[in-house]
Amino acid sequence: MNAIEITNFHKSFGPVTAVDNASLTVKPGELFGLIGPDGAGKTTLMRAICTLLLPDSGQILVNGMDTTRDVGKIRASIGYMPQRFSLYQDLSVAQNLRFFADLFQVPPEERTRRLEQLYQFSRLEPFRNRLAGDLSGGMKQKLALSCALIHTPDLLVLDEPTYGVDPVSRKEFWDILRTIQQEGTTILVSTAYMDEADQCERVALFFRGRIAGLDTPDGLRRDYPHPLYRLEGSDLRALRRFFQDIPTVHSIQLFGDALHVSFAQPPQPGDWRGWQDAVGSSLSHWEAHPPTIEDIFLDLIRSAS
């Protein structure tokens, strides 16, 4: 039996289609990611999975139970962290954690072990006596996350848990998530950070209410149809302008201190020499490069518009 089974789920709010005919399954014990920007439909789908929203049409089963009928049973088996998670602002960090541990009846030994892990990832221990209301925005997010992770449900649904969280803490957060997964919990997590797709076993790429890709990250990479190169040079913006006019170029995007250029037809060694002669030091290095999930997503956006 699948942990989550979604068949032709559809949901509109007035004239706006939030999720359009989405189907996907999440296997027991899987770490599954919903990847997409704000407004893509991720939250709507998660709320429906958690029985908080009725589908217009289609069906969602959680551990074989229907989200429109077995509401109580499903809720008891899920840990859900909504995007706007409400902490108790007038309780301290430690008190918030204890409150949620009590609420979910976490046994004492497990509580100690889990708290230690969570403090390590969140770096909140020095602030354990500070009121939640006095934490910085990102630290509040980490505390909310820690509260959601203090117990171990069958299915954990986390809606953009790393929003506004710094890169170091994000890395540590994913390590914790994998630890929880190894203990047998199925995890569904959404994110707008494309690079986090690679932390998941399988992902659904969400764009404008539709699932535009559904596979393992490597599977998505394999299906990317264009040869892609990573270019380095002294003036990337000038380089970008130059390659925009090359007819065999499919797309060209800035990626930090490099440029990703994909081609409709594979470039020949002679092409590269010609291009380098034309642009000089603007192009210092190029190499074939596997597409990142962000490259794949940029392509999806392009073909959608």
Using CB under 8 A, pick the residue from 64, 133, 167, 274 that binds other proteins.
167
**Least separation in angstroms between CB 235 and other proteins:** 12
Residue 158 engages other proteins in binding (rule: CB under 8 A): no
Residue 226 engages other proteins in binding (rule: CB under 8 A): no
Complex with other proteins: residue 61 or 93, whichever CB lies closer: 93
Residue 145 engages other proteins in binding (rule: CB under 8 A): no
Q: What is the DSSP string of the chain?
A: --SEEEEEEEEEETTEEEEEEEEEEE-TT-EEEEE--TTSSHHHHHHHHTTSS--SEEEEEETTEETTT-HHHHHHHEEEE-SS----TTSBHHHHHHHHHHHTT--HHHHHHHHHHHHHHHT-GGGTTSBGGGS-HHHHHHHHHHHHTSS--SEEEESSTTTT--HHHHHHHHHHHHHHHHTT-EEEEEES-GGGGGGSSEEEEEETTEEEEEE-HHHHHHH--S-EEEEE-S-HHHHHHHHHT-TTEEEEEEETTEEEEEESSPPPHHHHHHHHHHHGGG--EEEE-PPPHHHHHHHHHHHH-
Contact letters for other proteins, residues 183-222 (x by CB under 8 A): ---------xxx------------x---------------
**Least separation in angstroms between CB 9 and other proteins:** 22
Using CB under 8 A, pick the residue from 257, 269, 287, 303 that binds other proteins.
257
Instruction: Name the segment binding other proteins (CB under 8 A); options: 71-79, 136-144, 221-229, 264-272.
Output: 136-144
For other proteins (CB under 8 A), the number of binding residues is: 40
Residues that bind other proteins (CB under 8 A): 36-40, 123, 127, 134-139, 141-142, 160, 163-171, 192-194, 207, 237, 253-257, 294, 297-298, 301-302
